[in-house]
Amino acid sequence: MTKLLIGSAAGFSGDRTDAARPVVDTMIRLGGPAALIFETLAERTLALAQLAKQADPDAGYEPLLVDMVSPILGTCLEHRIPIVSNFGAANPAGAARRIHRIAAEQGLRVPRIAVVSGDDIADAAGQALLQAELGERFEADRFVCANVYIGAQAIADALRAGADIVVCGRVADPSLTLGPALAHFGWAMDDWDRLARATMAGHLLECGAQVTGGYFADPGYKDVPDLAHVGYPIIEMDESGDFVIGKSEPTGGVVDTRTVKEQLLYELHDPAAYLTPDVIADISQAEVTQLGPNRVSVTGIKGHPRPSHLKANIFSEGGWFAEAEISYAGPGAGARAKLAMDILRARLPQLRIRFDLIGVSSVFDNDDGGGLAQLPASRVQAATDVRLRAACAHEDRATAALLPRELNALYTCGPAGGGGVRTSMRTRLNATSCLLPRDAVSEQFAFVDA
């Protein structure tokens, strides 16, 4: 069986839109069957997309869809490189219709675009299912949306049916890679070792440049050449599911055993049991080997039968989130910022406010302010460039809005030399998760006409 190339052109919503062209060109140059994936969904990304769709029925898909797809659509259609992505988010059919318009605008042939459904369980039947599972934890009056992580089966079915593009919502990230592998190699859905290998290949691809030097570089410790032009990853998979990972050329970045091991372990709670809708992958005996410059093989991955349940994320209205910042500089800046913080606490006792003294302490603290309370006074006194950040959440908009108003008033009512105030207000979503029986969820695909 001919090897399969799969390239990644995005690792999150908002990723670079010039990444796809070098990936597609490299795969064409290497020759043979290939597929291109865009991974653009995080848990909160999908909830925000659901809100966008509620405001506008034509919205709710990846905001950068046009910028991502337009540069390579014609080339992919010409070279029969299918595109598989979750950029459909809350509105896969809307994304499909938009891609049809891109093709028409560019004078391309009409692509066969399949939409995968089954993940969105916001309808009455889905809410009843969640009510039964969550009991009192399910707040029907505040419910916004819910999506189930579905797997690769419908993607593979769509590709076997001749899809040029497969648009998904909430499929598991690695399933974007497993789907093309299933369609190409014809593996059975209980061929656990092969499914696990392709799933971990997908895990390496799902974050885009994270496996080619992005989110890895640490000057003097983990140097990465030409990170400004980092290339995105491409895997070369054989019939066994084993694979070699490289990157698009000519680009910057690096693929070596360190970048691959970091990404293999990324978000992995148990290396012997990585749970996905398709398979439980086990990398406890995996071998990662450098074959040459920017070429690393991964072998020895095992698979176990897939879980009996699927993960669902449920989002509900969470009130309002307010945020405000002000800067202090020069001698005594730390003390003045702390005085401003104390003023806000005294003026707003009804709010639970998170404070950060950026430049003194922020990343390592938590919402209860325990870290700030334990800071040595000398450290605060020594700071000469500090930005005070304050944030709170509240059910009532007017109450939450008191925080930015009071911080703004520090211009003339607070410590000396405050400036650079910035404030924001936005609605907030609460998230919870649960497991649903697999047989309660149905996934399928359908073609969308131009």
Mean pLDDT for 312-326 is: 95
| Tens-digit pLDDT profile for residues 33-42 | 999 999 999 8
Provide the pLDDT for residue 414.
97
Q: Which residue has the tokens 């606490």?
A: 345
Mean pLDDT for 265-287 is: 96
Provide the pLDDT for residue 407.
98
Res. 319 pLDDT band, cuts 50 70 90: very high
Provide the pLDDT for residue 41.
92
Length of the chain: 450
Q: What is d(CA 387, CA 356) in angstroms, rounded to the nearest whole number? A: 8
Q: Which CATH architecture has domain 317-431?
A: 2-Layer Sandwich (3.30)
Provide the pLDDT for residue 46.
86
Res. 43 pLDDT band, cuts 50 70 90: confident
Distance set, CA 201 to CA 10, 174, 196, 264, 275 (Å):
15, 7, 9, 9, 14
Res. 59 pLDDT band, cuts 50 70 90: very high
Provide the pLDDT for residue 361.
79
Q: What is d(CA 95, CA 218) in angstroms, rounded to the nearest whole number? A: 38
Share of the chain above pLDDT 70, in %: 99
User: Mind spelling out the 3-state secondary structure of the chain?
Assistant: CCCEEEEECCCCCCCCCCCHHHHHHHHHHHCCCEEEEECCCCHHHHHHHHHHHHHCCCCCCCCCHHHHHCCCHHHHHHCCCCEEECCCCCCHHHHHHHHHHHHHHCCCCCCCEEEEECCECCCHHHHHHHHHHHHHHCCHHHEEEEEECECCHHHHHHHHCCCCEEECCCECCCHHHHHHHHHHHCCCCCCHHHHHHHHHHHHHHCCHHHHCCCCCCECCCECCCCHHHECCEEEEECCCCCEEEEECCCCECCCCHHHHHHHHHCCCCCCCCEECCCCEEECCCCEEEEEECCEEEEECCEEECCCCEEEEEEEEEEEEEEEEEEEEECCCHHHHHHHHHHHHHHHCCCCCCEEEEECCECCCCCCCCHHHHCCCHHHHHHCCEEEEEEEEEECCHHHHCHHHHHHHHHHHHCCCCCEEEEEEEEEEEEEEEEEEEHHHCCCEEEEECC
Q: Give the predicted TM-score (pTM) of the model.
A: 0.92
CB atoms within 10 A of CB 318: 15
| Tens-digit pLDDT profile for residues 162-184 | 999 999 999 999 999 999 999 99
Domain residue ranges of the chain, discontinuous segments joined by +: 4-111+164-307, 317-431
The rounded mean pLDDT for the chain is 95
Provide the pLDDT for residue 386.
95
Q: What is d(CA 358, CA 127) in angstroms, rounded to the nearest whole number? A: 42
CB atoms within 10 A of CB 287: 12
Res. 75 pLDDT band, cuts 50 70 90: very high
Mean pLDDT for 71-81 is: 98
Provide the pLDDT for residue 47.
82
Distance set, CA 135 to CA 138, 206, 434, 446 (Å):
6, 34, 11, 34
Of 385, 379, 405, 389, the C-alpha closest to 355 is 389
Q: What is d(CA 200, CA 243) in angstroms, rounded to the nearest whole number? A: 10
| Tens-digit pLDDT profile for residues 339-398 | 999 999 999 999 999 999 998 877 777 777 677 777 788 888 889 999 999 999 999 999
State residue 406 phi and psi, 5-degree precision.
-70, -40
| Tens-digit pLDDT profile for residues 401-417 | 999 999 999 999 999 99
Please compute, for residue 130, the number of CA atoms within 13 A of its CA located in the half-sphere on the CB side: 27
Structure tokens at 359: 């430049």
Buried b (16+ CB within 10 A) or exposed e, 68-83: bbbbbbbbbbeeebbb
Q: What is d(CA 138, CA 433) in angstroms, rounded to the nearest whole number? A: 11
Mean pLDDT for 33-59 is: 90
Res. 45 pLDDT band, cuts 50 70 90: confident
